[in-house]
């Protein structure tokens, strides 16, 4: 089962220092259709209602350790935990066929302890605030992948002797270039409206992957 890596080591925010990252995002194109990819892109916030209970728990324990241990013992513990991380994987699955998308979130315990020692707690912000940072970053990565899929399809169609009616229409309207790219000031968001959604129903993502129009 082939999975496609979108991007590695995306930093959530400088607010959270280096203690919290998500990396990498995987998409299983064997199970995902273009309309499903659009649905994920548009409604990804529905899939991640809670993001930081583990971070909050870890920070509470770090505060307890700070109160129980001497400064020397805390620094020693931080050194011992330096190269360790806790990975929580948020995944979306097809109930019958398996995982479609996964986003591992990495928490670095040593950095959580370090921040607590320095009086810079991470999880005092509300879960909603973190979602306001996290969700747009995930959506940005999905948009990048959706753009690659759409432009790959346009290039494939434009290379044919007989171009599909839908792609010919986009070309004539100046929404895409003769090279299969989105025209200037046109983005994938402009084409996922109801008017153009039929274009995406024709896309076979796995074919684009196999033919090299979408990166493996």
What are the residue ranges spanned by the domains of the chain?
Answer: 4-210
Residue 171 confidence (pLDDT): 92
Residue 131 contacts residue 44 (beta carbons within 8 Å): no
The answer to whether residue 72 scores a pLDDT higher than 90 is yes
In the three-class reduction of DSSP (H, G, I as helix; E, B as strand; rest coil), residue 26 is classed as strand
Mean residue pLDDT of the chain comes to: 79
Answer for the pair 181, 158: CB distance below 8 angstroms, yes or no. no
pLDDT digit string (tens) for 2-51? 444 433 333 343 344 466 676 677 888 888 888 888 888 888 877 765 55
- For 103-132, how does the pLDDT look when each residue is reduced to its tens digit (9 = 90+)? 777 888 888 888 888 887 655 444 445 566
pTM > 0.75: no
The pLDDT of residue 182 is 92
């Amino acid at each position: 089962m082939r999975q496609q890596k979108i991007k590695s080591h995306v930093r959530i925010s400088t607010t959270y220092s280096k203690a919290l990252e998500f990396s990498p995002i995987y998409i299983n194109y064997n199970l995902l259709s273009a309309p499903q990819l659009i649905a994920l892109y548009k409604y990804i916030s529905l899939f991640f209602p809670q993001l930081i209970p583990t971070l909050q728990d870890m920070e509470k324990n770090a505060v307890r350790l700070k109160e129980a241990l001497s400064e020397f013992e805390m620094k020693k513990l931080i050194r011992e935990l330096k190269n360790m991380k806790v990975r929580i994987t948020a995944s979306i699955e097809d109930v019958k066929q398996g995982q479609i998308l996964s986003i591992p979130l990495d928490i670095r315990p040593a950095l959580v302890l370090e921040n607590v020692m320095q009086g810079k707690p991470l999880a005092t912000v509300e879960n909603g605030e973190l979602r306001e940072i996290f969700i747009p970053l995930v959506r940005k990565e999905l948009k990048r992948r959706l753009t690659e899929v759409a432009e790959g399809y346009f290039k494939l169609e434009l290379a044919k002797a007989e171009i599909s009616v839908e792609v010919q229409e986009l070309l004539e309207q100046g929404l895409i270039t003769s090279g299969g790219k989105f025209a200037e000031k046109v983005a994938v968001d402009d084409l996922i409206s109801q008017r153009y959604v039929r274009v995406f129903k024709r896309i076979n993502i796995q074919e684009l992957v196999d033919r090299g129009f979408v990166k493996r």
